[in-house]
Structure formats: structure tokens, C-alpha cells
Structure 1
Amino acid sequence: MADAARRLTALAEEVLGAPLPLRIRAWDRSEYGPPGTPVLVIRRRRALRRLLWKPGELGLARAWVAGDIDVEGDLYEALDLLAGSLWERGEGTPRSGLAALLAAVRDPRLRAAGGELVRLAGPGLPPRPPREEARRTSGPLHTLRRDKQSISHHYDVGNTFYERVLGPSMVYSCAYWGTGEDGATTLEEAQRAKLDLVCRKLALEPGQRLLDVGCGWGSMVLHAAREYGVSAVGITLSEEQAAYARKRIAEAGLTERIEIRVQDYREISDGPFDAISSIGMAEHVGSARYAEYAADVHALLKPGGRLLNHQIARRPLKDEEAYEVDEFIDRYVFPDGELAPVGRTVAQLEEAGFEVRDVESLREHYALTLRQWVANLQQHWAEAVELTSPGRARVWRLYMAASALSFERNRIGVNQVLAVRTPESGAAGMPLRARDWR
């Protein structure tokens, strides 16, 4: 079979209804497609068997993680070209390149052309899923036990791996970049600027008590305690994050002012707090639990206390019943994670009793942050593979690159929502001028 690339191209173009924008190189060393473009490399026929046994997103995701398929050249360009092909055929919703490719393999025309796919795939049993795939207990979503499993899958993969990707700040949410006037032009500076922005929006003062929900490796509580004199409690469901954060706190000499707990937000019973930060955590809550989450953090605040909720948002759909979690993300990146439109988040916070005082979009900031994380990963690729696995490193590379493009193209966003548990007197303690946070 010396013409596999040409036959695969013909099959793909039948599905897309347009010329394939990438060149294909197949396992038989054949190549076909436009020159000068990124190359979609089909390393093994097993990739096609994965699609036959699991048509759609999951089969394709497994092929990528297992290294059965790859991209040679600029991954960002490849994903953008794939997205463009789907738009040309009239897809109604803008997609990232990753989502476009996943949509293509679900197309009925691919299943209709299954005979050709079978001939190309050759004989073989269903391939086993890569070991990096999440294993979860059955039953309802977002129980205490299942959420802990999901968080462990994503975060308990080695603190050193995250050091290489995130850099010294160890902040796993979007940074706050500057133009050069404020000096926030490196990842470390921009992450510090983001932490300081949160502290200023919360109007933190010495002696106050802060709760950081989903504290990660402790960066927020460290910054708040060191720079603003607060006492802080940070909670996470990741044992590895907690151990790392406690070590950093001890080295900073702040153990008397900062406590790190392995605890779910639903288990906190020692409120109230003067302020609560939730940075990149609420995506894990789930739509079925979001009202409970909003009510819980409201109850944990003192009257007049502020919540800073920093959360990724998807674009609203015409038919919200049609929303489906991407299988690649669900199986390999954030098990059970869900995104909601920012309008729904604001509404649910208000329904819980909050007064929402400010919403700030940081969409472009996240795109810049993700590109820096991808660059860090590629710079430390060999070590990242050794620290985790080839499949795990491939998951993070694809996920972060595709996400960067999604933020750049306005397919998803990220917002900081500042809300107050306004007392009955109506005195919210907010400045008269917007964004004058002090």
C-alpha cells in the first residue's frame, strides 16, 4: 500500500467537502497534499482502527495520545487550517482547530465511507486506550469522591512537571500582561500582576481572613499574606499540590498565617471569611452543582465581604440543551469539567445573594499565557516526557495550543467577576469610581 496518503486525503476531502488544507504522510511513507503546509503524520494504521472502533472524538484523541498521529511543523497553523476547513463548509459555530478535527471524524459521511477506512486500517483487534485516560467511578457527577478523583487525575502528575510548564510562579491560571509601562512583560511578572490584581479587587488589608478556593500550589495565599498582611486558608483536593504549597509556605516563614487543607469547598465549617478568591477552580464545579457552590461561598463570607471568581467561559449556544463536553478534554485533561457562559455565572451568583459589581474579561491575557506555557513545555520536552509519560506530554501540548487559539479567536473567554455579600444596610464598601480598587 504505497498510496495510503492519497487515499486518506480523498477520504478526508469527501468528509470536509473541501480540499484538505494539510499534507498527509502515512505509515507507508507516502505523502500527499499541498506543499509548504504542516504535515499530518499517520504513524500507524492502528490510528484508523481506533477510529473504527470508537468513531468520533474519543478514537481520534486516543490516536493522538498514543502517538499514532502527530503534526510535523507549526501546530498552531495546523489547528487553524483545520478550523478554516470546517468554516468553509458552513459550520454554524466557530470552532478551534481541535474541535474542527473532532467534528470531522463524527461526520456521517465518514461512517458512510467506512469500507474504505476498513481497507486502509487493516485487520486488528480494538486497540487498548492509552494509560493516560482518566479512570472514574460510576455514578453521579461531582460527588465528593468523584471530584477528588478528577482533580487528582489532572494535578497529581508531578510537581516538577508543572514547574517546567508554569515557571517559577506556579500559577495555573491566566496571567495579567502589561504593555511594558508596568513591567509585566515576562510570565513571572504577569502572574505576579494577576495575583496583585485579585488582592486589590478584594481590598485586602492586614488582619483580614482570606479563603482561597482551589489554592493550587499556594501562590495566591503566599502573595496575599506576604504583601497584604492577611491570614489565609487555601484548600485543594490535590495531595501533591498541598504538600508543595506547605513547603513553600514554610520556606517563606508564613506557617503561622497560612493554612493549607486538602478539603472540598462543601466541607468548610469555620467561616466566615473577610474575602474569598476562586481562581480557575469553578470550571470543575459542574452545572448541576453551581448553585450550591455559589450559595456555599456566599454563606462563608462576612456581610460586606468580597468574592473574586476567576473562571473560563464558553460562548452561549442557541440551544443550550445541545452543549456537550469535548471527549478529549473529558477523558484526558479535565474529567467532569464544564464551561458555562459568563451571563449564566453572573446570574447564579446573583441568585445566591451576591451583588455583582464588576466583570472584567481577560481573554487575550489567557492566549498569551498559554503560548508561554506551550513554549516552556517544548523547551523542556525531554524532561517533561521523563517526568510523566510521552502521552501525558502530548495531551498538554495539544490541549494548551488549541486553547490558546480558542482564546485568540474569541471562541472561549475568561472573566473575573467581583461580587459582594452586600449587608442589609446596602453599604457594599465599594469605591465610587469603577476599577479604583483601593
Structure 2
Amino acid sequence: MADAALRLTTLAGELLGSPFPVRIRAWDGSESGPPGGPVLVVRHRRALRRLLWRPGELGLARAWVAGEIDVDGDLYTALDRLAGILWERGPAGPGTPLRPLRDPRLRAAARGLLSLGGPLPPPPPPAEESRRRPGSRHTRGRDRRAISHHYDVGNDFYGLVLGPSMVYSCAYFDEAGGTLEDAQRDKLDLVCRKLALKEGDRLLDVGCGWGSMAVHAAREYGARVTGITLSREQAAWARKRVADEGLTDRVEIRVQDYRDVSDGPYDAISSIGMAEHVGQVRYREYADLLLSLLVPGGRLLNHQIARRPEPDESAYELDAFIDRYVFPDGELSPLGRTVAALEDAGFEVRDVEAIREHYARTLRAWVGNLEAAWPGAVRLVSPGRARVWRLYMAASAVAFERNHIGVNQILAVRTAASGASGMRARTRDWR
């Protein structure tokens, strides 16, 4: 087992068909690989068993969550260099760019890794992994359980990560800089202006989170807001926030599925970071329902993460790490598909703004908050859960920076039968 790092980099290079992109420090203290930059620390050889059992992203994630691997140095640089292993499509699918093992030399390399890692099978997945979910995706019950897995981990933990704004979606940064709090306030205000909110308007905030949008719209624009969420912890926090702001006469927070909202019509609907939970099989139903809840001329602001289109859309698979550890059953759609679904439902799409660079900055700010409060975060959740969040947010920041994923604000209108949309001739009148 002497010089395990050299054996690791050699065998990994043979399997990948190119040199391993980062330096490795193995459990025996040896190092090998390109000098300079971050070091991938393999603390225990169990990590190899996980990788051999689940090559690519999921195996790496399990080893990370279990604390069997770590990064010494800049995590973002390490993830950027490992992007080809994590995300690019190989012969075995997304995130598994291993070459087929038909070549005897490759089979020998795999056997070499197996001997380094010890006998299969690997240990059980870390406890933070979501359990198997029975039934079809995006039924009411399964959606409720998925939301609880992600959001009901403690409001105090989210407070450490998100900061005082408690806004869990892409901020909107000024070119000159500004704080995360400034950028989140500016994002909420941008949404309100795009929706042309005014005193007395009824606003439905779908996926209201901790109530930030609802409070801003009521306090700054005089709107009467109904916020809905499936997370009981979010709802409890949001209700207290509304009461503390003295807005109980203007804001109602409900624990409610969007499919059960029937008290329209509303003048405007905001859906900020919620549609990723809807699922492609339900997206037309989602669009139809939101249209039916709006008055003629009413506006929808749909703020949603998008993925790049697949050459063969039928081959799309859920991201393994995100599905198991972060957003169970979360699905991303290409922007064009989302626009088409809204138009098919009867919406007139009036504006699309792509803001992916802003999400990269937002995520880096959240990671900074988490790292600055690391001991407290670990106490509030668990070491594994805190590691899930650090990896998820840092990897997502790199994915936005590399244009692997994007985020868009889509402004759509329920245009009246006469053709009246309520929009001014200059479409971007909110500027």
C-alpha cells in the first residue's frame, strides 16, 4: 500500500484516458499529480469502493458526505478541474466519462483500483441520503415528502446560509457590487416592478419560502398577498415574520399545494425558484392552473433554473447527487421548453431575462456564509448534512459559471380576448 497516491493517479488516468486533473493525497500521506492548486484528499480507501460501485458524481458525493474525501485548497478550482468527470456525458451517461472496459489494460486498471479499495460491496450510503420514494413522481404526497427533505432541516440553519434576507433564490447584483442583502432586495423589487404591482393588487406567491417576497410586496407596494408553501417550518417562520412586520391584514401564509389553490382571480402571480419542483410531467397542468387564477391582463413572473437541452431529450436523467441528497425529484427543463409550455397554456410571453452569472455570485456568497459559521452549522444539522450543502452550493456555482445550467425570469401575461395585455409599448417599462 506504499505510495497509494501514485497508484491512484496512474490507475485513474488509465481509466479516464487522460491524466487525473488534480493532485491527490492518499490515506498513507503520499501525494501524486499535477503540482500547485487544490489537492484532493482521500482520507480512507472506502472512498474507492464507493466510486467503483457508483462511478462518477454519486460515488464521489457519497465519499464526500461521509468525510472520506476532502479538498485542501480552493474548492471551486478543484470542482472546475473535475467538471469533466462530474458533468460531461461519457459512454455510461452523464457524469460517468469512464471508457468501456473492453481493453484488457483498462480491466487491469479497474482491478487495481479494486485491490486498493478493498472488497466490494461498499459501506451503506451516508444517512443524509434520501430514502427510496414509492409511487409516481410529483403526486401530492410524494412532493410534500420531497419538500420536507430539503426545507425542513431547521430555519436556524437556513438563516446561517442565506443571511438576514432569508431569500433562497438568485439575487440580482448591481454592476458596481453591493452586498448579498442589497442584491436580494433588488431582486424582490425587480419582480414587483415586472409584475407592475400597485396598492390593493392581489398577489399569489407560489412557493413563498420564508415570506420575503410576500412581505416586500405588501410593505413596499401595498399588495394583498397569499403565499403558499409545502414546508411547515417555512410557513411558521414566515407567519411570525409577517406578524413582526405588522402585515397580518395584508399577507396570508398557507401550507398548501399549488394544485389546491382555487380562490382566484389574482392580479399577479410570482413563482420564484418553485417550478423546479413541478416536474415535466406536471408542467402543463401548472401553467394551465396559473393562467386560470389570473384576471385578464394579469401577469406571471416565473423565475426558474434551466438546463441545457439534450441532443436526445428522452435520455435526460435526474442529477444523481441532487436527487439523492438535495432536491428529491427536482427536475430542470430547457428554457425553450418552459416558454413553450406557458404559451401552450395560453400565456403571452413578453420578456425573458437570463441572469445565470448572478446565481453564481449568490451561491458563492451562501458558501461563504456557511464556511464562516461552520461549527454552528454542524451543530444545527450534522457534519454530513453541512458537507452536502457546501458541495451542492459550490458545485452549483461552478455549473452556472461554466454555462452548464442557467436561470431565467420569464414575464408572461394572460392577455385579454381583445388583445389588451396591460403592457406599455416599451416592454421593459420596469427599468
TM-score (norm 1): 0.93
Residue identity in the other structure for 2:51:
L
One-letter amino acid matched to 1:166 = L
Alignment of 1:12 onto 2:12? yes
Q: In structure 2, what is the Cα distance between the partners aligned to 1:345 and 1:138? A: 27
Is the 1:166–1:376 contact (alpha carbons within 8 Å) kept by the matching residues of 2?
A: yes
* CA-CA distance at 1:258 after TM superposition: 0.6
* Kept in 2: contact 1:65–1:395 (CA 8 A): yes
Could you say which residue in structure 2 is the equivalent of 1:45? Answer: 45
Q: Secondary structure at the match of 2:153?
A: coil
Name the structure 2 match of 1:143: 139
Q: Residue 275 of structure 2 aligns to which amino acid in structure 1?
A: A
Q: Following TM superposition, by how much is the alpha carbon of 1:57 offset from its aligned partner in structure 2, in angstroms?
A: 3.4
- Deviation (angstroms), 1:137: 2.8
Amino acid across the alignment from 1:76: Y
> In 2, are the aligned partners of 1:164 and 1:384 still within 8 Å (CA)?
yes
Q: Is the 8 A contact 1:141 1:336 kept in 2?
A: yes
Q: CA–CA distance in 2 between the matches of 1:240 and 1:53?
A: 36
What do residues 215-247 of structure 1 show as CA deviations (whole Å, max 9, x unaligned)? 000000000000000110000011110000001
- Give the Cα–Cα distance (whole angstroms) in 1 for the partners of residues 340 and 108 of structure 2: 44
The aligned counterpart of 2:83 is 83
What residue is the counterpart of 2:96 in the other structure? 103
How many matched pairs?
425
Letter of the structure 2 residue corresponding to residue 147 of structure 1 = D
| C-alpha displacement of 1:320 | 1.1
Decide whether aligned partners of structure 1 residues 125 and 85 sit closer, same or farther in structure 2, where only a CA change above 3 A counts: closer
Opposite residue 364 of structure 1, the aligned amino acid is: E
User: Is 1:391 the equivalent of 2:391?
Assistant: no
Q: Tell me, in whole angstroms, the C-alpha distance in 2 between the residues paired with 1:54 and 1:368.
A: 31
1:154 aligns with 2:150: yes
Does residue 266 of structure 1 match 2:262? no
Q: Which amino acid aligns with 2:313?
A: E
3-state SS in 1 of match to 2:137: coil
CA contact (8 A) 2:89 2:96 kept: no
Query: What amino acid does structure 2 have at the position aligned with 1:231?
Result: R
User: Is the CA contact 2:57–2:86 (under 8 Å) kept in the aligned structure 1?
Assistant: no
SS in 2 for 1:147: helix
Spell out, residue by residue over 1:335-387, the C-alpha distance to the aligned partner (whole angstroms, 9 max, x if none). Answer: 10111111110000000010000001111111111111111111111111111
Q: Residues 195 and 301 of structure 2 are in contact (CA less than 8 Å); yes or no, is this contact kept in structure 1?
A: yes
Counterpart secondary structure, 1:126: coil
Cα distance in 2 for partners of 1:119, 1:92 equals 27
Q: Which residue of 1 aligns with 2:279?
A: 286
Partner of 2:370: 377
Unaligned residue ranges in structure 1 (runs of 5+): 94-98
User: How far did 1:117 drift?
Assistant: 1.9
Counterpart Cα distance in 1 of 2:85 and 2:200? 56
Tell me the distance in 2 between the aligned counterparts of 1:404 and 1:54. Answer: 24
- Residues 17/52 of structure 1: CA separation in 2 closer, same or farther (3 Å cut): closer
Query: CA shift at 1:47, angstroms?
Result: 0.9
Distance 1:255 1:283, change over 3 A: same
Q: Please tell me whether the aligned partners of residues 2 and 29 of structure 1 are also in contact (alpha carbons under 8 angstroms).
A: no
CA distance in 1, matches of 2:324, 2:225: 34
Look up the match of 2:28: 28
Could you tell which deviates more after superposition, 231-240 or 395-404?
395-404
SS at 1:375 equivalent: helix
User: Following TM superposition, by how much is the alpha carbon of 1:85 offset from its aligned partner in structure 2, in angstroms?
Assistant: 7.7
Per the TM alignment, residue 30 of structure 1 is displaced from its structure 2 partner at its CA by 1.5
Residue 172 of structure 2 is aligned with which of 172, 176, 186? 176
SS of structure 1 residue aligned to 2:96: helix
- The SS at the match of 2:412 is strand
Question: So what's the TM-score if we normalise by structure 2?
Answer: 0.95
> Which residue does the alignment assign to 1:223?
216
**Alpha-carbon contact 1:136-1:150 (below 8 Å) kept:** no
> Residues 136 and 149 of structure 1 are in contact (CA less than 8 Å); yes or no, is this contact kept in structure 2?
no
Of the three residues 226, 236, 241, the one matched with 1:243 is 236
How far off is 1:2 after superposition? 1.4
2:122 matches 1:126: yes
Matches of 1:387 and 1:267, distance apart in 2: 33
Question: Relative to structure 2, which stretch is displaced further, 15-24 or 306-315?
Answer: 15-24
Q: Counterparts of 2:173 and 2:324 in 1: how far apart (Å)?
A: 31
Is the contact made by 1:354 and 1:419 (CA closer than 8 Å) also made in structure 2?
yes
* Structure 2: gaps (5+ residues): none
- Describe the shift of the 1:146–1:280 C-alpha distance in structure 2 as closer, same or farther (beyond 3 A): same
Q: Secondary structure at the match of 2:407?
A: strand
Q: Distance in 1 between matches of 2:310 and 2:293?
A: 33
What is the CA–CA distance in structure 2 between the aligned matches of 1:345 and 1:55, rounded to whole Å?
32
Q: Does 1:417 align with 2:410?
A: yes
Q: 1:108 to 1:387 in 2, by over 3 A?
A: farther
Is this contact kept in 2: 1:431–1:437, CA < 8 A?
no
CA contact (8 A) 1:16 1:86 kept: no
State the SS of the aligned residue for 2:62: helix
The answer for the alignment partner of 2:306 in structure 1 is: 313
Give the aligned CA root-mean-square deviation in angstroms. Answer: 1.9
Give the deviation of 1:112 after TM superposition. Answer: 6.5
Shift of 1:125: 5.1
Task: State the Cα distance separating 1:141 from its structure 2 match.
Answer: 0.3
1:96 aligns with: none
Letter in 2 for 1:168: P
Alpha-carbon deviation of 1:56?
4.2
CA contact (8 A) 2:342 2:349 kept: yes
State whether residues 15 and 110 of structure 2, in contact with CA within 8 Å, keep that contact through their aligned partners in structure 1. Answer: no
Name the structure 1 match of 2:54. 54
Change (3 A) 1:62 1:85: closer
**Is the 8 Å Cα contact of residues 212 and 277 (structure 1) preserved in structure 2?**
yes
**Equivalent AA in structure 1 for residue 147 of structure 2:** I
- Per-residue deviation, 1:92: 7.1
Q: 1:112 to 1:258 in 2, by over 3 A?
A: farther
